[in-house]
């Protein structure tokens, strides 16, 4: 009996290692599995001091971008995201400035020409509810509010365009 229990424990440990290695490879590639359930709620006050509710975007594809002014990769991505949003008025784009001060987030938005709404998430509660573990993190939602793909790490304009195809 002792040998069987030991064998089971070794097998369980190996399976855990394989799962961890798979998750690490996916994270390194910047891809995350899309959940089958609707995306978590996203409500808050924008930098423009208006109320935002993600439910307002139902009916059209939506891009949710989590970023911070202090994040170098977020700065690298910002111009491409702003250009992508400007080129696609038929979709909704919302930013979520996490663990950031309002003044810093406002400067970031102005510096990069971001014209879409940005919700301030200074305590990172929204980011936590979305499962954000690294930034920038981008979620592409279909018109029913379901996440169809997501990405951790800076995206280029072409990558935004490719991901949008999955959300349509």
Distance, C-alpha 138 to centroid of its chain = 3
Per-residue pLDDT of the chain (168 residues; tens, 9 = 90+): 455 656 544 554 444 444 444 444 344 344 444 444 689 999 999 999 999 999 999 999 999 999 999 999 999 999 999 999 999 999 999 999 999 999 999 999 999 999 999 999 989 999 999 999 999 999 999 999 999 999 999 999 999 999 998 877
Entry pTM: 0.78
Give the pair of three-digit tokens for residue 65.
């971008």
Q: Are the beta carbons of 52 and 152 closer than 8 angstroms?
A: no
The pair phi, psi for residue 115, each rounded to 5°, is -110, -10
Beta bridge partners of 137: 66, 152
Place of tokens 């069987």: 4
Q: In the chain, how long is the greatest CA-to-CA distance?
A: 67
Give the pair of three-digit tokens for residue 130.
């979305």
Q: Does domain 33-167 have CATH number 2.40.110.10?
A: no
């Amino acid at each position: 009996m002792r040998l069987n229990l030991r064998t089971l424990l070794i097998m369980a440990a190996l399976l855990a290692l394989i799962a961890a290695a798979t998750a690490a490879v996916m994270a390194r590639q910047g891809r995350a599995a899309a959940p089958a359930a609707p995306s978590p709620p996203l409500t808050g006050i924008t930098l423009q001091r208006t109320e935002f509710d993600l439910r307002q975007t139902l009916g059209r594809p939506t891009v949710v971008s989590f970023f911070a002014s202090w994040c170098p990769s977020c700065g690298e991505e910002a111009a491409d995201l702003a250009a992508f949003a400007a080129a696609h008025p038929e979709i909704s784009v919302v930013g979520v400035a996490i663990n950031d001060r309002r003044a810093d987030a406002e400067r970031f938005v102005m510096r990069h020409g971001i014209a879409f709404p940005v919700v301030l998430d200074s305590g990172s509660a929204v980011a936590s509810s979305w499962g954000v573990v690294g930034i920038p993190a981008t979620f592409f939602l279909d018109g029913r509010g379901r996440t169809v793909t997501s990405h951790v790490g800076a995206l280029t304009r072409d990558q935004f365009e490719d991901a949008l195809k999955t959300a349509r």
